[in-house]
């Protein structure tokens, strides 16, 4: 198993970080892994390798977590738009709609994003999140 590669995109002046557990250029859809409140992208290190046969796992860091930029304030709506930006990045990278696998706060973000503006994704898996 190889070490995941850091990926960065910028949105609204904040440098967003993710860990790509696959290989760029693979002919696989991306699955974006969204962590919970007290976590970061490395939380998925033990889970992501189990998805590499069929998907390209990319674990994101939410604002103020892991290697994503920090701010003085964290409006919840910004977290929603960050995930939407990762969805667009994933579509551009693979040419396919991505999947979302979201845990805890990541699930709350994903579900609220659907209420605001449903993202163009293949499917959503939410684990341990209140509806």
C-beta separation of 35 from 60 below 8 A:
yes
DSSP class of 69: P
Q: What are the tens digits of pLDDT across the range 60-100?
A: 999 999 999 888 888 899 999 999 999 999 999 999 999 99
With CA atoms as reference, report the closest residue to 12 among 61, 52, 69, 95: 69
pLDDT of res. 1: 58
- Six-digit token string for 28: 């696989």
Percent of the chain with pLDDT over 90: 82
C-beta separation of 129 from 108 below 8 A:
yes
Between residues 74 and 104, which one has the greater pLDDT?
A: 104
C-beta separation of 84 from 106 below 8 A:
no
- Beta-carbon count within 10 A of 2 CB: 9
Mean per-residue pLDDT, 30-48:
96
**Strand ordering across the sheet containing 30-34:** 5-11, 14-20, 56-60, 30-34, 99-103, 123-127
Mean per-residue pLDDT, 110-114:
94
């Amino acid at each position: 198993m190889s070490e995941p590669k850091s990926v960065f995109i910028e949105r609204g002046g904040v440098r967003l970080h993710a860990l790509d557990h696959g290989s760029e250029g693979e002919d696989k859809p991306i699955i974006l892994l969204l962590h919970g409140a007290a976590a970061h992208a490395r939380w998925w290190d033990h889970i992501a390798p189990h998805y590499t046969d069929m998907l390209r796992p990319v674990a994101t860091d939410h604002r103020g977590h892991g290697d994503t930029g920090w701010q003085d304030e964290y409006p919840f709506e910004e977290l929603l738009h960050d995930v939407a930006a990762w969805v667009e990045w994933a579509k551009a990278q693979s040419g396919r709609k991505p999947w979302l696998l979201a845990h805890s706060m990541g699930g709350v973000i994903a579900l609220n994003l659907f209420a605001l503006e449903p993202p163009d994704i293949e499917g959503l898996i939410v684990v341990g999140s209140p509806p």
